[in-house]
Amino acid sequence: MNQKPLKTIIVGGGHRSLTYAQLAELESDKMEIVGVADPDFHRRRSIAKRFGIPDDRCFESAQELAKAPKFADAVINGTMDHIHVETTVPLLEAGYDVLLEKPFAVNEEEARKLVKTAKDNGRKVMICFVLRYAPFYRKIKDIILSGEIGQIISIQTNEYVSYHHMSTSHVRGKWNNSEKCHSSMLLAKCCHDLDIMMWLMGETKPSFISSFGNNMQFVGKNAPENSGTRCLVDCPLVDECLYSAKRIYIDHPDRWSFYVWDALESIENPTIEDKINLLKTSPYGICAYKSDNNVVDHQTVNVLFDNGATGTHTMVGGTSYGTRTIFITGTKGIIEGDFEKGTFTLSKIDPRPGHEHEDTVFDLKIDNDTHGGGDLDLVRDFVAYCRNEETSVSCTDIHDSLSGHLAVFLADRSRENNGIPEKVIL
Rounded CA-CA distance 419/131 in Å is 28
* pLDDT at residue 372 tops 90: no
* pLDDT at residue 266 tops 80: yes
Rounded CA-CA distance 189/322 in Å is 12
Average pLDDT over residues 74-85: 95
* pLDDT at residue 230 tops 60: yes
CA-based nearest residue to 330, from 133, 146, 138, 134: 146
Rounded CA-CA distance 369/40 in Å is 27
| Per-residue pLDDT at 370 | 53
DSSP 1-35: -----EEEEEES-SHHHHHHHHHHHH-TTTEEEEE
In this structure, of 54-63, 120-129, 178-187, the range with the lowest mean pLDDT score is 178-187
| Per-residue pLDDT at 258 | 85
| Per-residue pLDDT at 426 | 86
Average pLDDT over residues 183-189: 93
Helix axes 15-26, 375-386, angle to 10 degrees: 70
Distances from the Cα of 426 to the Cαs of 119, 406, 409, 416, in angstroms? Answer: 16, 8, 13, 21
Question: Is residue 164 within a helix (H) or strand (E), and if so which, with residue range?
Answer: helix 163-165
Q: In the chain, which residues fall in CATH 3.40.50.720?
A: 6-127
pTM for the complete prediction?
Answer: 0.91
Q: Give the model confidence (pLDDT) of 279-324 as tens digits.
A: 999 999 999 999 999 999 999 999 999 999 999 999 999 999 999 9
Average pLDDT over residues 150-156: 98
CA-based nearest residue to 275, from 301, 293, 249: 249
Domain 6-127 CATH (choose: 3.40.50.720, 3.90.550.10, 3.30.200.20, 3.40.50.1980) = 3.40.50.720
Instruction: Enumerate residues 6+ apart whose C-beta is below 8 A from 229.
Output: 235, 286, 287, 290
| Per-residue pLDDT at 265 | 82
| Per-residue pLDDT at 2 | 62
Rounded CA-CA distance 290/296 in Å is 15
| Per-residue pLDDT at 373 | 64
| Per-residue pLDDT at 365 | 79
Q: Where are the beta strands (DSSP E) in 147-271?
A: 152-162, 206-214
* pLDDT at residue 369 tops 60: no
Instruction: Enumerate residues 6+ apart whose C-beta is below 8 A from 355.
Output: none
Strand ranges across the sheet with 74-77: 58-59, 31-37, 6-11, 74-77, 97-100, 125-127
Average pLDDT over residues 327-340: 97
CA-based nearest residue to 39, from 93, 83, 102: 83
Q: In the chain, which residues fall in CATH 3.30.360.10?
A: 131-218+293-423
Average pLDDT over residues 254-262: 91
3-state secondary structure 310-375: EEEEEEEEEECCCEEEEEEEECCEEEEEECCCCEEEEEEECCCCCCCEEEEEEECCCCCCCCCCCH
* pLDDT at residue 39 tops 90: yes
> Is residue 103 reached through a cis peptide bond, with omega within 30 degrees of 0 on the bond before it?
yes
Torsion sign (Cα): 49, 39, 292, 184? negative
Find the largest Cα–Cα distance for the chain.
Answer: 74
Average pLDDT over residues 210-234: 97
Helix axes 402-416, 185-201, angle to 10 degrees: 130
Specify the CATH class of 131-218+293-423 in words.
alpha beta
| Per-residue pLDDT at 164 | 97
| Per-residue pLDDT at 413 | 97
| Per-residue pLDDT at 37 | 98
Average pLDDT over residues 40-61: 96
Mean pLDDT of the chain: 95
Average pLDDT over residues 406-425: 97
CA-based nearest residue to 5, from 377, 379, 378: 379
| Per-residue pLDDT at 71 | 98
Alpha helices by DSSP H, 27-134 = 41-51, 62-67, 84-93, 108-120
| Per-residue pLDDT at 367 | 67
Average pLDDT over residues 35-62: 97
Q: Give the model confidence (pLDDT) of 348-361 as tens digits.
A: 999 999 999 999 99
* pLDDT at residue 104 tops 60: yes
